[in-house]
Amino acid sequence: MKVNSNFFRLASKKRLVSLSCATALASFALIARPVFAEELTTNKPTNLDTTTVTTATVETTADLVETHSSSAVGLSETSAASTTENVSSNSTETANSLLATSEATSDSASKAGSQSQAASESPNTTSTTASTSTATSTATSEANSNTPATSSETNITGGEYYLGDYGRWHYRDANGKDLVGPQTVDGIKVYFYKTGAQARGEFAEDRKYYDNEKGALVTNSYVTYKDDTYYIDENGYALKGPHVINGVHVYFNDNWQPGSTGAMLKNAFGRDNRYYNEKGEQVDFGTNNYFQIGEDWYYAGSDGAIVKGPQTIDGKKVYFEKESGKQVRNHFVKDATNPKKLYYYGDDNGALVTNQYLVAYNKQTQRKERYYLNAEGTPSLGEQTIEGKQVYFDPQDGRQLFDVFSSTGHYYDQDGILKDFGTNHYVNIKGNWYYVGSDGAFVKGRKVINGAQVYFDKDGKQVKGGFDDDNNFHDINDGDLVTNRLVTVGDKSYYIGTYNKAIKGATVIDGTEYYFDDTTGVQVKGDFASNGKYYDARSGDPVTNSYVQVGQDWYYVDKEGKAVTGEHTINGDHVYFEDYRGKQVKGNFAENGYYYDQHTGAKTDLGTNRYVQVNDDWYYIGSTGTILKGQQTIDGVEVYFDTTTGKQAKGVFINEYGNAENPNYGLNTVKFYDKDTGALLKQQYFNFNDNWYYADADGIILKGAHTIDGVDVYFDKSNGKQVKGKFVTESGDVSDSGIHYYDKDNGALIKGGYFTDGGYWYYADDQGNLLSGEHTINGIKVYFNPKTHRQARNTIVNGYYYDKETGAPHAVPRNQFIEIDDDLYYFDSEGKPLTGKKIIDGKEYYFRENGSARRGDFNFFGTGPYYDKKTGAAVYKAGLVEVGNGHWCYINDKSEKLLYLQNIDGKLYYFENFRAIYYTSGYLAKDKVLSPEAEDYDRHWTANTTEVVKSEPYAYYYFDADTGAAVTNQFINWRGNTYYFGADGKALVFDQIIDGKHYYFDEQGKQVKGQFILDYNGKRYFDENTGELLTNTIRTINGKTYSFDKNGRSTEI
């Protein structure tokens, strides 16, 4: 809300200074105004331009230089923290200095409430006095008891109004103290916040409304506040609930509806179940009458209010949602006392459907299912006889089941009809055996049939050649129980004992010991059992005194059948078996230090005092004929061999504990052995993995600062890597900034001159210390950042612009926009960059803490307004705008983002808000298949209330990769799936005829290819290539042959 002051207008010249800058500006304090959800509204847009960013009446950067006036801006207390100032671009005097003058001079502000008319009325806040006060009401306004204790009935005179910080009016009484709380000044009731700022054009902390002109308490009047309409009663409070004002029935929000408390309801129902139109006036829909609003139907009862819940109208049972009053059509409704009990209301007139079949979407199965609604209107459950046919419905949700056994053991074919198999005989269905009992149902569990003890699983299938649920084994031919027999299931063998179950552990059969797994009962063959013995791979017999192979490894088992370990002489050969598991050592050195042949495993003499290579690794045979380990000196060369394996260390670091070590671990005594010779490196640089190190006279890797051959160098104190092209901090850490810098090529400490790194300039003194602060070098005053030590070049610091080439300072142009590189700034009369929200030449801008203007972006948390990507001025014209990260948003004429599914110029678009909790994104969806309902479930509560069961899947759309508009009437392949989007942009689902061809799409619109679909239409197959329904043909699928009739129903042949 603007407040006009006595500031006069000054002319200024147009000047634009364009600079380029590679660094950020110094930070300044930022006072930010919070944005509340109740301030945000979304209007339906009327225009969409997909190619041009709308800049409204925003001028170019050059145009922004000229300004014409300045004015103080009055803000509500809730936004007082936001510094919104009018800034003059005059080169000699700014709005800030004028404001300071105004505050210092009492004559610049009104001295009484009647003199405060300099404050203009806010364009979005009006006050209109009603000619007649409330005539009738069913809800009351706030009581006077809400008045704060600080209120005073004393009429205060003799003081003066003055403009304080942020353009807010204050009142200083005759004693020089600022008033706070409710007061009467010069006969006018006003209110001052704790800060002393006067409430104008807003609801104050006492919940009363004060006008914008004088801050006077409003009574018995309509007011508009933040785009909402309120009626202020005789005490200054906003009315709530239904009222009659000037003969018109209206309703004010009483915390039942979404929105601000006390705001007039428009295009909505009140708690009184009456509808209020776009003007807020109650609409009379008559009595005992259906009426439609949008796509929804309602019914006005005998008193004119809408009815809710179950109703009987014109002899028909209908239902209206309990919350919204919308009539339920083409959906199930849960019973009020039993949520599992559902009623279905049809789509023509919403009447309860009874005694007929229904096809409706099932959310659990995610496809259409067939139901039968009984005389009560609820789905039938279990086995039923309908129209003379025995059918079966799921006992839980009532969907009809096909090609399935019921819980009673009856089989229902793919038509859902009970199939009569007779009684007391076996039946083969799809390769499985069943038995029909005397009642015509398939038996389950354990039975004795024709003298055989047989078993049928939970689906009625007979168990043959396998174990039943009690782990009893049944014969593969007749299904009878098996005892005392070796059986094979697949590639596994079991021994079934006396009690029909697989035995486990060691067992003697016909005088021979066998072993069966302790857990599964599978016979152990070609492996060691848990008792440590080996059993033959073919027969399963135990093996003794013989070599055996398990996988690729060899073992020798003794007379007890167990693997031997250590050194042995077998068949005259000295051999060795690992001490842990007994695996024979071949082609390697054993724990005893000797080598054993890779083919025979026999001990091999490799000589003494010589290097040998085995499997690409080097070893050294000592004087005893065994390999050396640990630190050794051979022929005057210091070398190292692994203390466990004896492998020579080459091209690796070894720490003080004798382990190969990555130097990153920071151990102190680390040495390196040459990758070619294995010799310990000393007094030399070496390269490892593209990093340089230095080994001292003892071979220890250096760390920290050192002077080598007269050159000051530095090695990382944790891993010993030489520092090149990096900074070192005062604490000795390697960093992107610090007090010393080492050359990127030779690693030498830079001293006595300028150097660059990462595009920034630095200066090192004769000791290598980097300069900071102000200095004079070669006669030029220069400046270095105290923290980063970067020289100020092509940037603004402390009111000076530092030259791009030399870093010399120049005075900053004042009171005008300056573009530096890609950032826009505005510097005041003191050469300081503006920060926060500002009004310049009547246009709104926002400057960050570093002084750069927001451009091509929105305010905090993604809320409006949008700031033009070129000029930085806030845009208040509907259209598409591009944000800095390459996304597009659509704003209305209030610069608010449109969200979710929107119809713009006859085309559908979707604006995502996937960070809705913390940030309003509003990005235009492109090249995406998505469901607005699934993306934003909470906004669709009317279709997902607890009482209504949604009987249709979510609608999916594809939004074009270029325009973002929803595509229509075409196939789209997206991420490996094919969809077809209809005339309304929605993906077609389930059975569809397109261009004379029959296709099937799942609940998300993905086309089904190469799959069977089993539903109320039978078991059908859709071609793996075209996706078309197979009809009148024979096809072999997955090894089975099927015949398909004219309707696509399959029969296995």
One-letter amino acid for residue 486 of the chain: L
C-alpha distances (whole Å) from 104 to each of 157, 163, 297, 539 are 21, 10, 65, 110
DSSP state letter for 510 = T
Q: What are the backbone dihedrals phi and psi of residue 205, each rounded to the nearest 5 degrees, phi first?
A: -65, -20
pLDDT at 966 over 80: yes
Distance CA(481)–CA(452), nearest Å, equals 8
pLDDT at 769: 98
Query: What are 487's two structure tokens?
Result: 């059986």
pLDDT at 1011: 98
> Residue 563 falls within a domain, yes or no?
no
pLDDT at 950: 79
pLDDT at 119: 33
For the ranges 346-355, 552-561, 1003-1012, 1035-1044, which has the lowest average pLDDT?
Answer: 346-355
Distance CA(589)–CA(573), nearest Å, equals 16
For the ranges 31-35, 377-381, 686-690, 941-945, which has the lowest average pLDDT?
Answer: 31-35
pLDDT at 98 over 80: no
pLDDT at 667: 64
Distance CA(836)–CA(85), nearest Å, equals 9
DSSP state letter for 102 = H
Query: What are 990's two structure tokens?
Result: 């389930």
Cα first-last separation, the chain: 83
**Radius of gyration, CA atoms only, the chain:** 44
Confidence band of 584 (pLDDT split at 50, 70, 90): very high
pLDDT at 916: 58
Average pLDDT, the chain: 85
* H or E segment to which residue 935 belongs: helix 932-935
More confident residue, 37 or 696: 696
Largest CA distance in the chain: 126
> With contact defined as beta carbons under 8 Å apart, do 972 and 979 qualify?
yes
Q: What are the backbone dihedrals phi and psi of residue 10, each rounded to the nearest 5 degrees, phi first?
A: -120, 140
Confidence band of 59 (pLDDT split at 50, 70, 90): very low
More confident residue, 29 or 640: 640
pLDDT at 829: 85
> Residue 906 falls within a domain, yes or no?
no
Distance CA(816)–CA(828), nearest Å, equals 7
Q: Is 233 left (phi over 0), alpha (psi -120 to 50) or beta?
A: beta
> With contact defined as beta carbons under 8 Å apart, do 307 and 325 qualify?
yes
More confident residue, 81 or 603: 603
What's the structural domain count of the chain? 2
Query: What are 510's two structure tokens?
Result: 């016909």
pLDDT at 58: 31
Q: Give SS3 for 696.
A: coil
- What does the angle CA 697 – CA 700 – CA 704 come to, to the nearest 5 degrees? 105
Query: What are 897's two structure tokens?
Result: 């983002």
Burial 430-464 (b: 16+ CB within 10 A, else e): eeebbbbeeebbbbbeeeebeeebbbbeeebbbbb
> Residue 588 falls within a domain, yes or no?
no
Distance CA(197)–CA(165), nearest Å, equals 9
State the average pLDDT over residues 426-434: 93
Distance CA(730)–CA(739), nearest Å, equals 6
Q: Report the DSSP pairing between strands 17-19 and 816-820.
A: parallel
Question: What would the pLDDT profile of 448-487 be if each residue is shown by its tens digit?
Answer: 999 999 999 999 999 999 999 999 999 999 999 999 999 9
> Residue 1038 falls within a domain, yes or no?
yes
Distance CA(240)–CA(140), nearest Å, equals 6
pLDDT at 279: 97
pLDDT at 260: 72
State the average pLDDT over residues 1034-1049: 97
Question: What would the pLDDT profile of 119-130 be if each residue is shown by its tens digit?
Answer: 333 333 333 444
| Counts of helices then strands in the chain (DSSP H, E) | 2, 95
- The domain containing residue 170 runs over which residues? 111-220
Place of tokens 């239409």: 1017
State the average pLDDT over residues 169-190: 97
Q: What are the backbone dihedrals phi and psi of residue 737, each rounded to the nearest 5 degrees, phi first?
A: -150, 155
- Please name which of 586, 524, 509, 587 lies closest in space to residue 561, comparing C-alpha atoms: 524
pLDDT at 1: 32
State the average pLDDT over residues 223-245: 95
Chain CA centroid to CA 814, Å: 45
pLDDT at 830: 81
Last residue of a domain, one of 194, 220, 246: 220
Q: Give SS3 for 77.
A: helix
pLDDT at 158: 95
> Residue 680 falls within a domain, yes or no?
no
Confidence band of 160 (pLDDT split at 50, 70, 90): very high
> Residue 649 falls within a domain, yes or no?
no
What does the DSSP assignment read for 984-1039? TSPBP-EEEEETTEEEEE-TTSPBP-SEEEEETTEEEEE-TTT-PBP-SEEEEETT
Confidence band of 369 (pLDDT split at 50, 70, 90): very high
* H or E segment to which residue 929 belongs: strand 928-930
For the question of whether the overall pTM of this predicted structure is more than 0.75, the answer is no
Place of tokens 């005041």: 828
pLDDT at 48: 36
State the average pLDDT over residues 746-751: 98
pLDDT at 13 over 60: no
Q: H-type helices in 27-126, by residue range? A: 95-104
- Please name which of 646, 650, 641 lies closest in space to residue 677, comparing C-alpha atoms: 650
> With contact defined as beta carbons under 8 Å apart, do 625 and 610 qualify?
no
State the average pLDDT over residues 135-148: 38
Confidence band of 400 (pLDDT split at 50, 70, 90): very high
> With contact defined as beta carbons under 8 Å apart, do 414 and 1019 qualify?
yes
Q: How many CB atoms lie under 10 A from the CB of residue 988?
A: 18
Last residue of a domain, one of 220, 246, 275: 220
Place of tokens 């959906």: 331
More confident residue, 934 or 663: 934
> Residue 379 falls within a domain, yes or no?
no
State the average pLDDT over residues 743-749: 97
State the average pLDDT over residues 314-327: 96
Q: How many CB atoms lie under 10 A from the CB of residue 50?
A: 16
Q: How many CB atoms lie under 10 A from the CB of residue 918?
A: 7
Distance CA(835)–CA(27), nearest Å, equals 9
One-letter amino acid for residue 23 of the chain: T
CA dihedral of residues 277, 282, 288, 294 (deg, nearest 10): 10
> With contact defined as beta carbons under 8 Å apart, do 82 and 31 qualify?
yes
Q: H-type helices in 884-987, by residue range? A: 932-935
Distance CA(974)–CA(977), nearest Å, equals 5
pLDDT at 69 over 50: no
Q: What percent of the chain has pLDDT over 70?
A: 83
pLDDT at 86: 56
Q: Give SS3 for 870.
A: coil
Confidence band of 53 (pLDDT split at 50, 70, 90): very low
> Residue 612 falls within a domain, yes or no?
no
Starting at the earlier edge strand, list the strands of the sheet with 268-269.
Answer: 268-269, 275-276, 282-283
DSSP state letter for 50 = S
Last residue of a domain, one of 199, 220, 241: 220
- For the chain, the 3-state helix, strand and coil shares in percent, each to the nearest 5, are 5, 40, 55
pLDDT at 31: 31
Place of tokens 């030489």: 722
CATH code, domain carrying 127: 2.10.270.10
Place of tokens 């004379």: 996
pLDDT at 16 over 60: no
pLDDT at 915: 61
pLDDT at 1000: 98
One-letter amino acid for residue 1004 of the chain: Q
pLDDT at 821 over 80: no
